[in-house]
Amino acid sequence: MTSRVHERPKRLAPKLRAMRQHLGVSQTEMKRLLNFKGDYGRISDYELGKRQRTVLTLLAYSKVSGAPINDLVDDERELEF
């Protein structure tokens, strides 16, 4: 058996930014929509690829935007809202 190495999505950060922009909200407003505590810096870090997103975070983004989670994590798929 061969093991398949799972690479991190390379286009995830720009897709998260595109989602927020599609919704027409600021990073602070996105933080509220996602029900995150703390400041908007976490959203900025996600959009710049500086912070790892958990599966729960990706699910929250998917729910808020209406975009399928597969579109987020698959670099070959485009976002559909």
Specify the residue for token string 């919704």: 23
- Say how many domains are in the chain: 1
Contact yes or no for 19/65 (Cβ under 8 A): yes
What domain range is 38 assigned to? 12-73
pLDDT in tens, 2-11: 555 567 899 9
Tokens linked to 56:
């729960």
pLDDT in tens, 43-74: 999 999 999 889 999 999 999 999 999 999 99
Contact yes or no for 14/48 (Cβ under 8 A): no
Assess if residue 81 is contained within a domain.
no
Query: Which CATH number is 60's domain given?
Result: 1.10.260.40
Instruction: Classify 54 as helix, strand or coil.
Output: coil
What is the band of 39 on the pLDDT scale with cuts at 50, 70, 90?
confident
CA distances from 56 to 1, 4, 36 (A): 31, 23, 11
Percent of the chain with pLDDT over 90: 77
Assess if residue 79 is contained within a domain.
no
